Amino acid sequence: MSTEDVVKPSESLKNVRYEIRGRLARRAHELERLGYEIISLNIGNPGLFGFRTPETMRLAMIENLAESEAYCHQKGIFPAREAVVMQQQARGVSGVSAEEVFIGNGVSELIDLVLRALLNEGDEVLVPSPDYPLWTAAVNLNRAARCTIAAAPRTASSPMWPRSSPW
């Protein structure tokens, strides 16, 4: 294959690194093939680690499954959005309605959509360090500038940001 036949990636990918699927993941697979047990905490799939969708959300999805076979409302199924509001109210978050909730195909899609809608080239985005690699990748893909802030260790008594924080 000549160099003219090679598909050249977009310049927007120049600063994008996503090790969940890159060199680190390939090395983990090599070690697994050699018999090492690898616990993949980097894949963003909480179900593999025992985290479950709250029952109110599961019931709302089950009850509305027939309406979801075709494309649903662009914000997501209304009862599921209501369940999200109820969950957040139980956590002390007030002033949010189902009209302000968007359901997506996962956090990766929603992070990119939100950044795409809000950012202009050169805008600055605060990203905690260490971060979920998608955050930095999405900032770079949307041609913004990442500003790193050190994240304090999160414990039950000391969340990353206080509840009174606007973040």
Res. 109 pLDDT band, cuts 50 70 90: confident
Q: What pLDDT does 44 receive?
A: 65
Q: At what angle do helices 78-90 and 55-63 cross, to 10 degrees?
A: 170
Mean pLDDT, all residues of the chain: 81
Q: Where are the domains of the chain?
A: 18-52, 53-103, 105-152
Those residues whose C-beta lies under 8 Å from the C-beta of residue 56, and which sit 6 or more positions away, are: 83, 86, 87
Residue 81: both structure tokens together? 């959005």
Q: What pLDDT does 67 receive?
A: 75
Q: What pLDDT does 100 receive?
A: 93
Better-predicted residue by pLDDT, 25 or 142: 142
d(CA 89, CA 56): 13
